[in-house]
Amino acid sequence: MRINKFIADSGVASRREADRMIADGRVKINGKQITAPGVDVDVYNDAVYVDGVRIDPVRREIYIMLNKPKGCITSVKDDKGRKTVMDYVECGKRIFPVGRLDYDSEGLVLLTNDGELAYNLTASKNDVPKTYIAKAEGEIKEEHLKKLRSGIMLDDVMTKPAKARLLSYEKGLSRVEITITEGRNRQVRRMFEALGFNVVFLKRTEIGGVRLGGLARGAWRYLSPKEIKKLKELF
């Protein structure tokens, strides 16, 4: 973030006034005096001082990933008293989940207070890829994968082309990796059901190039600057 915007977001001054403060040598970043308004500041790690007083933006953007377990809903609250993803995250800020993940599914959920990014990630026009690992009863063959890739009719509307590959078939269960760019209600499960397969396990592993990795079930962490940049560069 540009230093003049950082100062303006802190409520100390307008951007124009911040430019004057910077030019007058009243602003320091990590103890170093600056005089150029185009300098960038890391809002998470840099210490900014105006006239010797440290300042912070009134609203700092928060980006979190959660490995959602089964048995909770992807919502801020639930009128039925069920657990929500908010029961697993404690960051001291008002945040909300981006999009949905089924009650019976697990895996990657993003939470933020950045409304613009949340909108862009969930807007159907943006085709943000989301990758899942699905375990389904029965043997899924190449003919079924081709149908998933070309599109499945759901509610009289074809799904957009997906990526799908068989990872394994053992003990009557097919393990498939599938990537979709839509967010219809229970879409992945319904795509398999339309082909006659019952999904017994579903885990989201990636959104927009950001991967869940080895994060434990029910655990959360802040996104790295690199991950945040990756998401924002999608749009």
Per-residue pLDDT band for 176 (boundaries 50, 70, 90) equals: very high
Task: Report the range of poorest mean pLDDT among 16-25, 129-138, 153-162, 220-229.
Answer: 16-25
Q: What is the pLDDT of residues 137-171, one digit of tens each?
A: 999 999 999 999 999 999 999 999 999 999 999 99
Q: Are residues 100 and 200 both part of a single domain?
A: no
The domain tally of the chain equals 3
Q: What is the pLDDT of residues 184-224, one digit of tens each?
A: 999 999 999 999 999 999 999 999 999 999 999 999 999 99
Q: What percent of the chain has pLDDT over 90?
A: 77
Residue 12, pLDDT > 70, answer yes
Concerning whether 102 is annotated as a catalytic residue, the answer is yes
Q: What pTM does this model have?
A: 0.75
What CATH number does residue 16 fall under? Answer: 3.10.290.10
Q: Are residues 199 and 135 both part of a single domain?
A: yes
Q: Are residues 86 and 145 both part of a single domain?
A: no
Residue 31, pLDDT > 90, answer yes
Can you give the residue range of the structural domain that contains 30? 3-55
CB 133 within 8 A of CB 175: yes
Residue 59, pLDDT > 70, answer no
CB 47 within 8 A of CB 54: yes
Alpha-carbon span 169 to 1, nearest angstrom: 48
pLDDT for the residue numbered 98 = 94
Give the SS3 label for residue 210. strand
Q: Are residues 102 and 75 both part of a single domain?
A: yes
Which one has a higher pLDDT value, 2 or 137? 137
Residue 174, pLDDT > 90, answer yes
Q: What percent of the chain has pLDDT over 70?
A: 98
Give, as one character, the DSSP assignment of residue 62. -
Q: Are residues 188 and 227 both part of a single domain?
A: no
Per-residue DSSP letters for 101-135? --TT-EEEEEEES-HHHHHHHH-GGG---EEEEEE
- The position carrying tokens 């928060």 is 62
Of 24, 46, 51, 102, which is the active-site residue? 102
Q: Are residues 106 and 140 both part of a single domain?
A: no
Residue 58, pLDDT > 70, answer no
Which one has a higher pLDDT value, 45 or 163? 163
Q: Are residues 119 and 218 both part of a single domain?
A: yes
What CATH number does residue 201 fall under? Answer: 3.30.70.1560
Q: Are residues 78 and 106 both part of a single domain?
A: yes
Give the SS3 label for residue 67. strand
Of 13, 32, 55, which residue is a domain's last?
55
| Average of per-residue pLDDT values in the chain | 93
